[in-house]
Structure 1
Amino acid sequence: MRNITNFQTDLLRTFVSVIDLGAYTKAGDVLGRTQPAISLQIRRLEDLVGAPVIKQVGRTLMLTGEGEMLLSYAREILRLNDEAASYFNRAKISGVLRVGLPNDYAVAFLQGVITEYTRRHSEISLEIYCGWSAEILDRLRADELDLAIAMVNSERAQYLSRTWIERPIWAAAEGVTFDLAGNIPLAAHPEGCAYRERMIQALDAARVRWRVAYTGPGISGLQNAVLNGLGVSALTRYTMLPGMRELDERDGFPALAEIRVGLFYKHPRLSDAGIRLINHIIARLDEAGVSGDLMRASGELDRQ
C-alpha cells in the first residue's frame, strides 16, 4: 500500500488565510489563534510538503514555488470542504453577496449565472458592481466585494482561483459592410478596455486604418451601436445579439488576441452563501466549456 500524505484542512485554512489577508496577525484574528500558533501551523504544513511554502525577504513574506502550487490545491480543497460542511450542517444560506463584474466582458451571461443561484435562495440579497477590472480588484482588496470576475494579464495574481480563456470576435450588423480601404469605424468602451486594445492592436498590425465612431461604458450601448451600423466591435459569443454577424479574415478583419479572465475571492471572508455561489459559478463555467485549469496565485504578504 502506498504511503499517502494527508493535508489537514485546518493547516490549509491557515495557509490560505495568511495569503488572502496578507499577514499572520490578520489570519490569527480571523481564525482565533495567536501569531505564534499561526507560524507553528505553517511550519507543520511545510513539514508535510517537504519544502518551504513561504519565504521572508526583508520584512516581506512571499510564496515559494512550492507554495504557489500548494495554494491552487488548497483553495479547491477548502472550497469543497466548506460546501460539504454547510450542506450537512444544514447551514442557512442567507445574507448579502457583493459581486464585481467587468464592463468589458460577458456581463449578461455571468449575471444570469449569478441570479439563477439567488433565485434558488430567496434569503440572499445580491449587489452587483460593474466597473473596469482594475477597479473591481481594488474593491475586492478593500473588502468592498465578496467575489469578483476580472481580466488578468498573467497566470499569477492575488486571490485568483480559476481562469479561462476568451477569444473576442468581430461583430457587425447583418447587411452592413465596411470599406477596408477607408477608416474602419469602431464601437468601443473607453480607453483601458481590454477589448478596445485588442481591436486596435489587430488593425494596426494588419495596417488597416480605423477611427473610433462610438465610445460608451455599458455593454448595451455597445450592442446598440453595432446593431445600428455605427461601427464594428469586439464582443464575446455570449454578448452577440440577433441581427449581428461575425466578421473574420475572409472579411478582411484580422483575428483578435485572446483574453484571460479570472475568478477572484478571499476565502476567509466568504460566508456559506459565498462559498456555494463560487461553486455554482464554477459548475456553470465548466458546463459552458470555458473554465480553465486551476491557476497558481501569488502575492506579497506583510508580516504585521
Structure 2
Amino acid sequence: MRNIINLQTDLLRTFVSVIDLGAYTKAGEVLGRTQPAISLQMRRLEELVGSPIVKQVGRTLLLTSEGEILLSYAREILRLNDEAASYFNRAKIAGVLRIGLPNDYAVAFLQGVITEYTRQHSEISLEIYCGWSAEVLERLRADELDLAIAMVDNERAQYLSRSWIERPIWAAAENARFDPATGVPLAAHPEGCAYRARMIQALDAARIRWRVAYTGPGISGLQNAVINGLGASALTRYTMRPGMRVLDESDGFPPLAEIRVGLFYKHPRLSDAGIRLVNHIISRLDEAGASADPVRREGKLTR
C-alpha cells in the first residue's frame, strides 16, 4: 500500500492564514488559537511535507520554494473544502461582500458574473469598488475589500488565488481608417493603465508614430471615444460594443502583448458567501477559457 501523506485542512488553514495575515499572532487571533499552537501546527506541516515552508527574515515571514508550491495547493484544497462545507451550510449564507474591480479591464463581464450570483442569492448585498489595479490591491491589503480582481505583474503576488491571460485587441469605429505611416490617434485611460502601456509599447516597437487624442478614467467614455472615431484603443472582447471593429496587422497595427489578470482574496478573512462567490467566478472564467475566447485559464495552478 502506498504511503499517503494526509495534509489536514486545519494545518493548511493555519499555513494560509499565517501567510495571508503575515504573522503567527494575527493568524492565531483569526483562528482562535494561541501563538504556540500556531507554531506547533506549522512545524507539524513541515514534518509532513519533509521541508521547511517558511523562513523568518527580520520581522518578515517569507516562503521557501517548497512553501510557494504548497501554498498553491493549500489555497485550492481549502477553496474546495469550504465550497463543500458552505453547500451544507447554505441556509446561513448572507451578508455584504466588498469587491474590487479594475478600471482597465472587462468590468462589464465581471460585473455580470458577480451580479448573476447575487440574483441567485438575494440575501447577499454587494459593494463594488472600481479603481486602478494598484489601488484595488491596496484596499484588499487594508481589509477594505473581501476579494479583488486586478492586473498581475508577478505570478507569486500576495493573496493571488487564480490567474489567467488576457490578450488585448485593437478597436476602432467601424468606419474609421487610420494610416500608421502618418501616426495613430489613441483613446486611452490615464498613465498607469496596463492597456495604455501595451499600446504605446507595441507602436514604439513597430516605429509607428502616435498621439493620445482622448484620455479618461471610465470605460464608457473610452468606448464612446472609439465609436465616435476619436482614436483607436486597446480593449477586451467583453468591452467591444456595436459600432466598433477589430484592427489587426492587415490594418498596420502590431499585436498587443498579453496581460495577466488575477483573482485575489485573504482566505482567513473570507466568509462562506465570499467563498461561494469565488467559486462562481472561477467557474465562469473556466467556461470562458474552454472556448476560443481571449480569456483563458492557465493550465496549472498559479504559484
Provide TM-score, normalisation by structure 1.
0.96
Provide, for residues 115-153 of structure 1, a one-character-per-residue CA deviation record: whole Å limited to 9, x for no partner. Answer: 000000001110110000000000000000000000011
2:301 matches 1:294:
yes
Aligned match of 1:170: 170
Kept in 1: contact 2:184–2:211 (CA 8 A): yes
1:1-304 paired onto structure 2 within 5 Å: 1-289=1-289, 290-292=296-298, 293-296=300-303
Kept in 2: contact 1:83–1:275 (CA 8 A): yes
Provide, for residues 24-83 of structure 1, a one-character-per-residue CA deviation record: whole Å limited to 9, x for no partner. Answer: 000000111110100000000000100000011233221000100000100011111111
Provide, for residues 159-186 of structure 1, a one-character-per-residue CA deviation record: whole Å limited to 9, x for no partner. Answer: 0000000010100011210122222110
Kept in 2: contact 1:91–1:272 (CA 8 A): no
3-state secondary structure, aligned to 1:279: helix
Kept in 2: contact 1:282–1:291 (CA 8 A): no
Looking at structure 2, the residues matched to 94 and 214 of structure 1 have their Cα atoms a distance apart, in angstroms, of: 42
Identity of aligned residues (%): 86
Aligned match of 1:299: none
User: Cα distance 1:13–1:91, how it changes in 2: closer, same or farther (>3 A)?
Assistant: farther
3-state secondary structure, aligned to 1:126: strand
Q: Following TM superposition, by how much is the alpha carbon of 1:91 offset from its aligned partner in structure 2, in angstroms?
A: 4.2
Provide, for residues 251-279 of structure 1, a one-character-per-residue CA deviation record: whole Å limited to 9, x for no partner. Answer: 10000000000000000000000000000
Kept in 1: contact 2:206–2:254 (CA 8 A): yes
Q: Please tell me the residue identity of whatever aligns with 1:64.
A: T
Kept in 1: contact 2:22–2:60 (CA 8 A): no
Task: List alignment gaps of at least 5 residues for structure 2.
Answer: 290-295
Looking at structure 2, the residues matched to 262 and 91 of structure 1 have their Cα atoms a distance apart, in angstroms, of: 30
Q: Following TM superposition, by how much is the alpha carbon of 1:241 offset from its aligned partner in structure 2, in angstroms?
A: 1.0
Q: Please tell me the residue identity of whatever aligns with 2:4.
A: I
My pick for the range that moved more, 95-104 or 242-251, is: 242-251
Kept in 1: contact 2:19–2:61 (CA 8 A): no
Task: Considering Cα pairs closer than 8 Å and 6+ residues apart, tell me whether 1 or 2 has the greater RCO.
Answer: 1
Looking at structure 2, the residues matched to 280 and 125 of structure 1 have their Cα atoms a distance apart, in angstroms, of: 16
User: Cα distance 1:158–1:14, how it changes in 2: closer, same or farther (>3 A)?
Assistant: same
Task: List alignment gaps of at least 5 residues for structure 1.
Answer: 297-304
Provide TM-score, normalisation by structure 2.
0.96
Provide, for residues 60-109 of structure 1, a one-character-per-residue CA deviation record: whole Å limited to 9, x for no partner. Answer: 22100010000010001111111111212344221000000000000000
Kept in 2: contact 1:102–1:132 (CA 8 A): yes
3-state secondary structure, aligned to 2:82: helix
Looking at structure 2, the residues matched to 180 and 89 of structure 1 have their Cα atoms a distance apart, in angstroms, of: 59
Root-mean-square deviation over aligned CA pairs: 0.8
Looking at structure 2, the residues matched to 239 and 291 of structure 1 have their Cα atoms a distance apart, in angstroms, of: 19
Looking at structure 2, the residues matched to 87 and 187 of structure 1 have their Cα atoms a distance apart, in angstroms, of: 45
3-state secondary structure, aligned to 1:284: helix
